[in-house]
Amino acid sequence: MTEEVIDIRPITERVKDILRTCYDPEIPVNILELGLIYEINVLEGNDINVKMTLTSPACPVAETLPVEVEQKIKGIPDVNNAKVEITFDPPWEKDMMSEEAKMELGMW
């Protein structure tokens, strides 16, 4: 018999792990390290609201990336629902990237 492994980390950490699997197709770095995630809010009942941006308003994945993020978050055990809000305030800048992302892109 196999034992079921239960992830007891805070739900915010599990959401961040999932966000690290989502990529902007033009930049080979995940959206969390790119600095595209502005807020992760866990509401009552484990509903997750994410406020994020895109690298530009004309981003080719503007229609598909938020849906991908929502679907992946909804797949996390204990998450009831997920909603992604896109904002361009403040606009994304390269300075929002993590040090790891800058190093990976040779901007360090």
pLDDT at 1 over 70: no
* Secondary structure of residue 9 in the 3-state scheme: coil
Q: What are the respective helix, strand and coil percentages of the chain, to the nearest 5?
A: 30, 20, 50
Separation of alpha carbons 35 and 31, rounded Å: 6
Q: Residue 2 has what pLDDT?
A: 62
Q: Residue 25 has what pLDDT?
A: 80
For residues 35 and 97, the answer to whether their CB atoms sit within 8 Å is: yes
Domains defined along the chain, listed by start:
11-104 (3.30.300.130)
Average of per-residue pLDDT across 1-21: 83
Average of per-residue pLDDT across 71-96: 96
Average of per-residue pLDDT across 57-64: 88
Separation of alpha carbons 40 and 70, rounded Å: 12
The C-alpha angle 8, 10, 12, rounded to 5 degrees, equals: 140
